[in-house]
Chains A and B, each alone.
Chain A
Amino acid sequence: MLNILNKILVIIFICLTVVACNTITVINEHKASTNIELGDKESVVLLGRRHLSQHETELDYISCVGEQLSAGEERLNVIPEQQFIDSMYPYFEASTAPMDVQKLDTLIQHPNVSKKLADYKIHYFIWIEGNTKTIDKSGAISCVGGPAGCFGFATWQDEAIYEAKIWDLKKTSVSGKIHTETQGTSFLPAVILPIPLLASVKSDACDGMAIQLKKFLN
């Protein structure tokens, strides 16, 4: 009897492993008619939108995309977000950052601001808006102390929606937009020990965005 139960549990575990951890990413790209001309020595800066406190773009998502852009083939010169925000203080804080290219155009009229941007050799601003959140969850796990451990099953679905807007600093115009939507379901079966089978939603959304941005800018 115990043998049959063990076999059933192993089959359930294998099925869950196959089903879980899968994510689906959908990417849409809109490119303006202007050409993308990023020189070898030019840089891009990647910034998260954080003007609405409940819908802030996560710092780790921005650093993940930044790291991916500045690594591997066709790598880009990416200025780290916090370094850029600090050095441009107070013009790129969450509450003071330009919300459109017209505001950026006004900002670069300050000689010291435009000089700093020139020192960085920035050609493109990439503004990323969005976040990852849990949209559905069900099931329950109960744990008791001692050898009895945990028993139950929980599942939740995460959704990562991000949109990148690419601004051309030299032309003060919008060069394009990239929209990514990633969904994935995680499972947490528990028979004595909880075994998390996590879907890497944010990480996959980061990969998808970075790959698309590289294609866009190269």
Chain B
Amino acid sequence: MKKISSTFFLCCLLLLTACEQSMVLETSLDIPQPVETKLPLNIAIFYEDSLQKYIYIENNDDRRNWSITIGPSQVEIFDQVLPTMFNSIATVKNLDEAKNQKYDAVIIPDIQDIQFALPYETKKKIHETWIKYIIHIQEAGGKPIADLKLTGYGKSLPNTSIDFMLDEREGLVISTNEAYRDLAAKLIVSFQSDPAINEWLDTKSK
């Protein structure tokens, strides 16, 4: 009797854990080496804890107990892209550290929202990802320079696989990678074209 009850308990536990869809989106960050147009600036980057440990959580009928860890890949993308944009780049642990060093500016990425669309929700049967950011750019002393509002969009190719679970993860990884690529492209282009940044650069060079 004891054996039966412990087996039953184990089965229940297995069923409960099976319902949890915890995913870590291991993005491969397929971002090509940008055409080099480096700005002559020494930049500090500050990753807030909220960004580094960002977990996307959703729980409804369609997405039961979704928990997607994407914080580390976001840090990785900035670490990869920013050195191609500036003369030097350093990560600071807090804003005071940036103040004490002679940086031209500090970049603080702030994730605003992330959304996913699954194949049955999209007309084209694809996975889609939107990542919305505000990139705060300020002088080392704290004076704001600009806030870049950027949305990275990515999608997977049309779903033809019958392996649903495998597909969901793979489709989301592909669409999220594409969203990061788009976000990085917009970041580089915006930094070169944003009027407030250009005005600050002009003032700085005088």
Question: Are A95's CB and B186's CB within 8 A?
Answer: yes
Known: A53-B153, A54-B123, A95-B153. A89 touches B37 (CB 8 A): no
In the complex, how many angstroms separate the beta carbon of B173 from the nearest chain A beta carbon? 19
CA distance A126 to B184 in the complex (A): 25
Interface assignment of B4: CB less than 8 Å from any CB of chain A: no
Known: A86-B32, A110-B37. A91 touches B153 (CB 8 A): no
In the complex, how many angstroms separate the beta carbon of A148 from the nearest chain B beta carbon? 25
| Inter-chain contacts of A96 with B (CB < 8 A) | 185-186, 189
Question: Are A90's CB and B34's CB within 8 A?
Answer: yes
Known: A93-B182, A96-B185, A96-B189. A112 touches B36 (CB 8 A): yes
Question: Are A93's CB and B185's CB within 8 A?
Answer: yes
Q: Give chain A's interface secondary structure class.
A: loop
CA distance A91 to B37 in the complex (A): 11
In the complex, how many angstroms separate the beta carbon of A33 from the nearest chain B beta carbon? 33
CA distance A89 to B186 in the complex (A): 11
In the complex, how many angstroms separate the beta carbon of B38 from the nearest chain A beta carbon? 9
CA distance A141 to B103 in the complex (A): 69
A53, A91, A95: the one contacting B155 at CB < 8 Å is: A53
| Inter-chain contacts of A90 with B (CB < 8 A) | 34-35, 184-186, 188-189
Residues from 19 to 41 in B contacting A, C-beta threshold 8 Å: 31-37
Interface assignment of B181: CB less than 8 Å from any CB of chain A: yes
| Inter-chain contacts of B32 with A (CB < 8 A) | 86-87, 89
Residues from 56 to 106 in A contacting B, C-beta threshold 8 Å: 86-91, 93-96
Question: Are B35's CB and A91's CB within 8 A?
Answer: yes
Interface assignment of A191: CB less than 8 Å from any CB of chain B: no
- Give per-residue flags for A105-143: 1 if the beta carbon is below 8 A from chain B beta carbons, else 0: 000001011001000000000000000000000000000
| Inter-chain contacts of A88 with B (CB < 8 A) | 35
In the complex, how many angstroms separate the beta carbon of A52 from the nearest chain B beta carbon? 11
| Inter-chain contacts of A53 with B (CB < 8 A) | 128, 153, 155
CA distance A201 to B124 in the complex (A): 19
- Give per-residue flags for B32-75: 1 if the beta carbon is below 8 A from chain A beta carbons, else 0: 11111100000000000000000000000000000000000000
A94, A95, A116: the one contacting B35 at CB < 8 Å is: A116
CA distance A86 to B130 in the complex (A): 21
| Inter-chain contacts of A91 with B (CB < 8 A) | 35, 189
In the complex, how many angstroms separate the beta carbon of B19 from the nearest chain A beta carbon? 32
CA distance A145 to B137 in the complex (A): 64
Question: Are B35's CB and A89's CB within 8 A?
Answer: yes
| Inter-chain contacts of B153 with A (CB < 8 A) | 53, 95
Q: Which residues of B come within 8 Å of A, CB atoms? A: 31-37, 123-124, 128, 153, 155, 181-182, 184-186, 188-189
Q: A89-B34, A93-B185 are in contact. List 9 more A-B contacts (CB 8 A).
A: A53-B128, A53-B153, A53-B155, A54-B123, A86-B32, A89-B32, A90-B184, A90-B185, A112-B35
A-B pairs, 4 with minimum CB distance = A90-B185, A89-B32, A86-B32, A93-B185
Q: Which residues of A come within 8 Å of B, CB atoms? A: 53-54, 86-91, 93-96, 110, 112-113, 116
In the complex, 11 of the A-B residue pairs with CB atoms within 8 angstroms, ordered by the A residue number, are A87-B32, A89-B33, A89-B34, A90-B35, A90-B188, A93-B181, A93-B182, A95-B153, A96-B186, A96-B189, A116-B35
